[in-house]
A and B are shown apart, each in its own frame.
Chain A
């Protein structure tokens, strides 16, 4: 309790602390002149005077975790990069943001592209890479133009190219558009695609840090991760690490959508509770039309869905907070994941079966088809879910679904298999009675919804 109060105090002190979106609303911030006037590129100036290894140490100290979904410590990832002599190293920015419900990187790149470029130059200097590739989702075609324009501006002003700001450091930056495949957000599939091949994930090991782009050591980071390097260098790792709780340091962009009054991008400092995030006017502003909260996917479509009661409080009866540890409290049995920060809210009128079917259809469509469990299993799950949704399911289908997802999870080349299995597993785990209701009421389920039922009831916490 004491720690919770401390966190509360800390939260008030740092309330609404914004690092990435602080200047997002300044007019003209998309362009270099305004961005520079507002203090842009200070981190590059500072970094170029530092030793590359000190920057890596600084990022390690900041506790920054990968913002793409897995939450792996960024500094550690950087320190794994192999540095053989005479072999170029590459920095690749993963801007293939395709997870349903996630649109934070789009916002960053569209409105303040220079913060990404600035972060990448610093990261590139720290890693000793002279070439940076931004692999951007094909559907974000207009953002490609924005980035290209920003890169040209940066180059014109001596932040890219040869001998940056007289430091002797050379760096070039390229933007490459994807061709519309979710799988290319997986880092090794992304590298394959960047090399001009079919975007099939590679078999690991070797990891990209050893053999990445064109067989050279490569670091692949998410857009938001790279942008977060800017405040870390500007303010220092210690200042950055003061924001947040425990291993969830700094700020996180959350893209909130679904049944909420104010969908959009919010920068949070990971100390607020999920309840506050959904209901306060500062953030999502509650659920429209006086409806009640039924369920939520807190971190993008791949992470487990939670019913309202488990979302707001953990199984131990504590308030659930918007950070890595708290969201995953209880493991998959009663928790979920921070993921990429795609926060999808479902109100009492939403049908979990239909919702799960929609996700299963997405994963079936996006599976690369390389390994058998994912290629065959995702399509099978989709078909079963559709038949349950249409009132044609059998009771045994629910167990069958469970068995299929169990046999996909962990047995595939890349995490897409897991990502396809988890939503189905979580839906059955928490909403099994809704699936059974669909089976038992084949006609009614076509015209009515199961509704909220007991999903928001307080959970009994054994003392």
Chain B
């Protein structure tokens, strides 16, 4: 008989679930999913020690536990606070949290450049999503923004420090995934910066994973910079037999036609690198930067992209027809078509049924 695993109860925004002891509030909320899950800009479940810095995941603890039901005096970082049995947490149901989070988003955007139109991260940028959900259309900041010079920190990666929100994720990658850390944070306060100190110092085999963990466009892939907007490319899951020790060989290829524009690690629904058999699916620089031919990869199929993402536009796996209800409510009587589109439209081609196309419609599908 296996030993029973004791679970504890936590209530987040009036939803109660059972979790294992040692779970953080953020992870419990991710179990529930949806709006209840606080956003996280610096926390990365695959990187030990990350989190607690950006303060976007702050939540209110209305009751500490069943044993000690006192509320916590301050908002807590949900990514670094463990669940206690009987804990009651308020996220979107707390005005204090909404207010503080709006404040944090304003702080994060204060010195962030408004260069989304030319930023490679646009479309898959967590700060963009966060700003969209919590930010205001205008700024109250009337001073010059902090800027830095762009810097190549290795042969494949460009650092655009002006966009950085100092989440520290890339330094954890350097610490935990690569064998030799050559970059970190220099200076402090609002002039703190990610730097290698000596330019172009990063040559590690796994350095490219920094780009994947970067929540904004501060670290960009030099082989992809300005080549394409991500939502114009088509992501497909693919794998290859990679010989680099530690590389999982499973990646997402970002295609346009047959051309591989970019290779990244596969991401899960929280935007983090996926795990395979309990191991995080980091990929090596050879896969990421040097294997850009489709024939080098075994393509598995279209990647699952959330339909809320701009990248999902025009990429359909199957066509789902809406359920026809007229016949049902008319007791089996077929609706009488009042109008044939072809008799009134000069544009449509009567031989082409647009709804049957397994792709987006092109000009060739219409009458000239």
Contacts and interface: CB of A to CB of B under 8 A. Distances in A.
B54 A372 contact: yes
A377 B107 CA distance: 7
Contacts of B99: 407
Given A372-B165, A410-B74, A413-B52, A183 B188 contact: yes
Contact of A383 (B53, B143, B185, B188): B143
A411 B55 contact: yes
B265 interface: no
A378 B110 CA distance: 12
Interface in A369-397: 369-373, 375-380, 383
Given A370-B53, A407-B107, A411-B103, A375 B77 contact: no
B190 interface: yes
A378 B189 contact: yes
A372 B189 contact: no
A367 B192 CA distance: 10
A412 interface: yes
Contact of B107 (A181, A365, A372, A410): A372
Given A203-B51, A366-B189, A369-B192, 10 more contacts: A367-B188, A371-B52, A372-B53, A372-B108, A372-B165, A373-B104, A375-B190, A378-B189, A380-B110, A380-B143
Interface of A: 181, 183, 198, 203, 364-373, 375-380, 383, 400, 406-407, 410-413
Size bracket, chain B contacts: 20 to 34
Contacts, number: 88
A413 to B, nearest CB: 6
A203 B80 contact: yes
Interface of B: 51-56, 58, 74-75, 77, 80, 99-100, 103-104, 106-108, 110-111, 140-141, 143, 165-166, 168, 184-185, 187-192
Nearest to A202: B52
15 contacts: A181-B188, A198-B185, A368-B188, A370-B53, A373-B55, A373-B104, A375-B107, A376-B190, A380-B107, A380-B141, A407-B106, A411-B75, A411-B100, A411-B103, A413-B77
A366 B184 CA distance: 19
Contact of B53 (A181, A367, A413): A413
B113 to A, nearest CB: 14
A10 B100 CA distance: 48
Contact of B111 (A368, A371, A376): A376
A188 to B, nearest CB: 12
Nearest to A386: B143
A373 B104 CA distance: 6
Nearest to A375: B190
